[in-house]
Amino acid sequence: MSDPVLNIRDLKLAFRKGRQVTEVLHGISLHVNAGEKVALVGESGSGKSVTAQLALGRLQQERGTLIEGLVQVAGIDATRDPRALARVRGHRVTMIFQDPTSALNPVFRIGEIFAQVLRAGGRHVSDAEARATAEAALAEVHIPDPARALASYPFQLSGGMNQRVMIAMALVNEPELLLADEPGTALDVTVQAQTLKLMDEMVTKKQAAVLFISHNLSVVREFADRVYVIYRGKLVEHGRVDQLFGNPRHPYTRALLAAAPKLVGGGLPDLPEHEPAFRDPLIVHEGCGEPEELRT
Amino acid sequence: MGPILRLLTHRLAISLLVLVGVSMLIFFVARVVPGDPARIALGPNASQEMVDALREARHLNDPIIVQYGWFLRDLVQGDLGTSLYTRRPVTQDIAAYLPATLELVFVAGALMILIGLPLGRVAARYSGHYPDHLARLLSVLAVCTPAFVWGVILQLLLAYIWPVFPLEGRLSTGVVAPDRITGFYTLDALMTGQLGTFFDALYHLILPATALALSGIGQTARLTRSSMIETYRRPYIDMARAYGFSERKIARRYAFRPALIPTLTILGLDFAAMLANAFLVERVFVWPGLSRYGVEVILRKDLDAIVGTVMVIAAMFLITNLVVDVIVSIINPRIRLSERRAKS
């Protein structure tokens, strides 16, 4: 088996502000194999987004960030060599955001942004090549008039269209790993569902691995192969989708599942009665143990 | 009609209205202020008959509203009256003094853009670090010291103690002014191929332009900094970084262009304000400009010249704002395209 494209071992992350140190990740381990779709699920503040930020190498260079453990992305040690990681951002590792419209610069045409994405990692691409590639990529995500979309500004397109553009940008350089941080949560539910289906289709086609970060279990169920459940900076349960949904074992996972149908305002119980459960070791479903060779 | 052209005609019409309003305001205010312009012009030794004759000749005994009527009649013929101080037509005075001020203000404006914007950009990029602190200190210092103080300081340091720059005037003694084409000595010298005169004129511009520009440079730097820092927090900058856009490219283009939009509007106002504020710097550097002329005529209650000067400065304000609006609408597609949408 080839090396996983994302390999996180015993990762601890803390932020220091003045003398106060707040630990937000308490030693998590997860991996994403090539071409695999893995979800990381938890409520806001559980540490799921910072995990993506770390995988992208965005936190390492900031002051007051304390990192311990291993983050390996596409074979690069992201904690020790953030510069090397910076060179692969945008082509070997890419990202899709919550709100596609605000993630696209409002004063540049889609075509200009696209050309810049194609030039990620310092590759030389002529304007004509960039236009042709971008048009083909937009056609692939079923945008009706690619040339016109490229000549438009982000605010002239709908949120759904922008999300398609974002998906096209994320996959045009054939990345090994795509980080999707709550993709499309800013869109309305039907459009979000459509674009997620499209994303699923596209990553399968491009054979990209995905780390899908979400708080929404029903979305994850459709999309992912494996699921990690994170709670307060600790992984609590890990299994294949069918295992986790068929037989949720951790009280937090059950609470998440119970809360799922209430789309808005449901919220999660604070679970004080289950508190001791979080000191338990991670529940790993059968066949989902960490591969022996990854343990370091 | 293109959207920019539409914006232009619309704004021009409004500007014209504003100009009429300004003319009325200054016309009446100048006349309400106590003091007899004829007496001031003729001096304390002139006889009452002479003063009365001058008042009659200038229609000063008519009701103000009638006087305004005379003014409008002359105005449509391109006549702004005659100065009691220089005894020349006001239009001629303005034509003589305006280019000197404009040349000064343009160079100062260029300094504001060329130094203020990059300074703010560097401060934003290294926000909280050493270059930022330095840039902020310099900006605050530049903003809180008035232009004429800068003028005196610069003169003292760079023209007197360490005389690398000329002390005053537009040209060195012995250098003949180039033939008048635009009235800008630098441009005229270039157009007539007199390189020596060009450098001499430029050399004379540096100190007064710097003195005039410093507070604008400081303000531009501060505005650019805060606007850039605000832009750096936007999701599209996260996106740019996630996609490996270089920090340099982000600072120069990707974050800079959206950040420029709010800065530009203020920059335009600053630039226009320099026109009116130049008088102290013109005083310090003995610069024969319009602002200095304006102060002289106000002190002498030279009615026609006051109205003429104020209207020219107001017109410059309006033109600057118009130019800024056009530039902003070019940079900001939201404005440009909403204009188009409004039409269809």
Cβ–Cβ below 8 Å for A105 and B236: yes
Count of CB atoms situated within 10 Å of the CB of B75: 17
- Strand-pairing partners, residue A235, are A230
List of residues 6+ apart from B49 with CB closer than 8 A:
none
Sequence letter at residue A135:
E
Sequence letter at residue B270:
D
The whole-number average pLDDT for the span A73-80 is 85
The whole-number average pLDDT for the span A12-30 is 88
The C-alpha of B169 sits at a distance from chain A's nearest C-alpha, in angstroms, of 44
φ, ψ of residue A27 to 5 degrees: the values are 85, 75
Of A93-107, A198-212, B16-30, B49-63, the range with the lowest mean pLDDT is: B49-63
Of B239, B261, B332, the CB nearest to A103: B239
Which of A63, A73, A107 has the highest number of chain B CBs within 10 A, making it the mutation to test binding with B? A107
Answer yes or no: is pLDDT of A293 > 60: no
Q: Using CB atoms and an 8 Å cut-off, which of residues 255-314 of chain B contact chain A?
A: 257-258, 261
Domain boundaries, given as residue ranges, for chain B: 98-299
Give the pLDDT confidence score for residue B342 in this predicted structure.
45
Contacts of B257 in chain A (CB under 8 A): 105, 107-108
CB-based contact, A89 to chain B, within 8 Å:
yes
The C-alpha of B15 sits at a distance from chain A's nearest C-alpha, in angstroms, of 28
Nearest CA in chain B to A179: B242
CB-based contact, B248 to chain A, within 8 Å:
no
CB-based contact, B35 to chain A, within 8 Å:
no
CB-based contact, A227 to chain B, within 8 Å:
no
CB-based contact, B234 to chain A, within 8 Å:
yes
The two tokens of residue B25 are 């305001």
CB-based contact, B245 to chain A, within 8 Å:
yes
User: How far is it, in rounded angstroms, from Cα B219 to Cα B225?
Assistant: 10
Give the pLDDT confidence score for residue A296 in this predicted structure.
45
B227-260: pLDDT as tens digits = 999 999 999 999 998 898 888 889 889 999 999 9
pTM of the predicted protein model = 0.79
The whole-number average pLDDT for the span B82-98 is 90
The C-alpha of A56 sits at a distance from chain B's nearest C-alpha, in angstroms, of 7
Of A58, A102, A155, the CB nearest to B241: A58
Contact A135, B277 (CB under 8 A): no
Of B258, B332, B337, the CB nearest to A105: B258
Contact A162, A104 (CB under 8 A): yes
Cβ–Cβ below 8 Å for A153 and B331: no
The whole-number average pLDDT for the span B183-194 is 88
Cβ–Cβ below 8 Å for B241 and A105: no
Nearest CA in chain A to B249: A116
User: How far is it, in rounded angstroms, from Cα B287 to Cα B100?
Assistant: 7
Contact A64, A168 (CB under 8 A): no
Give the pLDDT confidence score for residue B280 in this predicted structure.
86
CB-based contact, A23 to chain B, within 8 Å:
no
Give the pLDDT confidence score for residue A280 in this predicted structure.
65
List of residues 6+ apart from B215 with CB closer than 8 A:
B142, B143, B144, B145, B146, B147, B150
Answer yes or no: is pLDDT of B106 > 50: yes
The whole-number average pLDDT for the span A7-13 is 90
CB-based contact, B7 to chain A, within 8 Å:
no
Between chain A and chain B, the number of residue pairs with CB atoms below 8 A apart is 71
Of B236, B257, B333, the CB nearest to A102: B236
Nearest CA in chain B to A86: B244
CB-based contact, B240 to chain A, within 8 Å:
yes
CB-based contact, B236 to chain A, within 8 Å:
yes
A213-257: pLDDT as tens digits = 988 887 888 889 999 999 888 888 899 988 888 888 888 888 888
The C-alpha of B269 sits at a distance from chain A's nearest C-alpha, in angstroms, of 23
User: How far is it, in rounded angstroms, from Cα B182 to Cα B184?
Assistant: 5
The C-alpha of B244 sits at a distance from chain A's nearest C-alpha, in angstroms, of 5
Answer yes or no: is pLDDT of B343 > 50: no
Cβ–Cβ below 8 Å for B261 and A58: no
Give the pLDDT confidence score for residue A260 in this predicted structure.
57
Cβ–Cβ below 8 Å for B236 and A104: yes
Contact B99, B182 (CB under 8 A): yes
Give the pLDDT confidence score for residue A47 in this predicted structure.
84
Answer yes or no: is pLDDT of A170 > 90: yes
The whole-number average pLDDT for the span A94-120 is 92
Identify the band that residue A263 occupies on the pLDDT scale cut at 50, 70 and 90.
Answer: very low
The C-alpha of A273 sits at a distance from chain B's nearest C-alpha, in angstroms, of 38
Give the pLDDT confidence score for residue B225 in this predicted structure.
93
Identify the band that residue A295 occupies on the pLDDT scale cut at 50, 70 and 90.
Answer: very low
Nearest CA in chain A to B235: A103
Answer yes or no: is pLDDT of B340 > 60: no
Answer yes or no: is pLDDT of B11 > 60: yes
The mean predicted confidence, pLDDT, of chain A is 85
Contacts of B243 in chain A (CB under 8 A): 89-90, 94-95, 116-117, 120, 169
Give the pLDDT confidence score for residue A212 in this predicted structure.
93
More confident residue, B24 or A255: B24
Answer yes or no: is pLDDT of A200 > 70: yes
More confident residue, A125 or A292: A125
| First CA to last CA distance, chain B | 11
User: How far is it, in rounded angstroms, from Cα A148 to Cα A110?
Assistant: 10
Give the pLDDT confidence score for residue B103 in this predicted structure.
93
The two tokens of residue B124 are 């934003």
Choose the most confident range, by mean pLDDT, from A258-272, B162-176, B214-228: B214-228
Contacts of A95 in chain B (CB under 8 A): 239, 242-243
Answer yes or no: is pLDDT of A23 > 60: yes
Instruction: State what percent of residues in chain A have pLDDT above 70.
Output: 89
Answer yes or no: is pLDDT of B123 > 70: yes
Give the pLDDT confidence score for residue B208 in this predicted structure.
93
Give the pLDDT confidence score for residue A58 in this predicted structure.
76
A128-159: pLDDT as tens digits = 999 999 999 999 999 999 999 999 999 999 99
Cβ–Cβ below 8 Å for A90 and B331: no
Instruction: State what percent of residues in chain B have pLDDT above 90.
Output: 33
Give the pLDDT confidence score for residue B344 in this predicted structure.
39
Which of A97, A105, A172 has the highest number of chain B CBs within 10 A, making it the mutation to test binding with B? A105
Identify the band that residue B85 occupies on the pLDDT scale cut at 50, 70 and 90.
Answer: confident
CB-based contact, A250 to chain B, within 8 Å:
no
Give the pLDDT confidence score for residue A218 in this predicted structure.
78
The C-alpha of B343 sits at a distance from chain A's nearest C-alpha, in angstroms, of 16
User: How far is it, in rounded angstroms, from Cα B169 to Cα B181?
Assistant: 20
Contact A12, A68 (CB under 8 A): yes
The CATH H-level (homologous superfamily) assignment of domain B98-299 is MetI-like (1.10.3720.10)
Cβ–Cβ below 8 Å for A102 and B337: no
Answer yes or no: is pLDDT of B129 > 90: no
Give the pLDDT confidence score for residue A270 in this predicted structure.
56
